[in-house]
Structure 1
Amino acid sequence: MDRFFMRRARAVQYLLDRRREWLARVEAAKTGSVEFESQQLDLIDSLVRDVRAGRVHAFKLDHPTAVEVFVSD
């Protein structure tokens, strides 16, 4: 697992980049279930709001690669 220390704005940008990756996967999967991808998008959307508001100071993402991010002001 990779660990990163980021300022709040960079952490939000990182999450938005990961969100774009998941959206691309959903769009590429024209058939079949995208339930897992939708759950990941919901998780990232929630994290974006919480990181922006200062309610979250660290978070982990397990897919597609495991990372742990520590947020500083």
Structure 2
Amino acid sequence: MERFFMPRTRAIALIVTARRTMLAHADERLPADAQRMRDGAIALERLLLDVRAGRVDSFELMHPTPIHVTVSSESES
């Protein structure tokens, strides 16, 4: 499993992309698999809200590739 450190905005974008991809592929699956993917998308939506609110500082995504993300503090520009 790869490990990444990234700012909160990039972590949020990563979760949004993973959720969008999961929902797009759900339509191509058998009904049981599609429901499991939709349930995964719901879990990603909850994770998105938690990361956005600052309640979660690290998480793992298993789809499409397993990664561990640690949210770093935003750099000031």
1:5 aligns with 2:5: yes
TM-score (norm 2): 0.84
C-alpha separation between the residues in 1 aligned to 2:17 and 2:28? 17
Which amino acid in 2 is paired with 1:9? T
- Structure 1 CA distance, aligned partners of 2:10 and 2:63? 19
Question: Could you tell me which amino acid in structure 2 is paired with residue 72 of structure 1?
Answer: S
Structure 1 counterpart of 2:48, one-letter code = V
Alignment root-mean-square deviation, CA: 1.2
Task: Give me the TM-score of the superposition, normalised by structure 1.
Answer: 0.88
2:59 corresponds to 1:59: yes
Q: Give per-residue Cα distances to partners, 1:15-55, cap 9 Å, x unaligned.
A: 000011101111223x4222220221011101100000000
1:21 aligns with 2:13: no
Shift of 1:64: 2.6
Secondary structure of the equivalent of 2:60? strand
3-state SS of the aligned residue for 1:25?
helix
What is the aligned residue count? 72
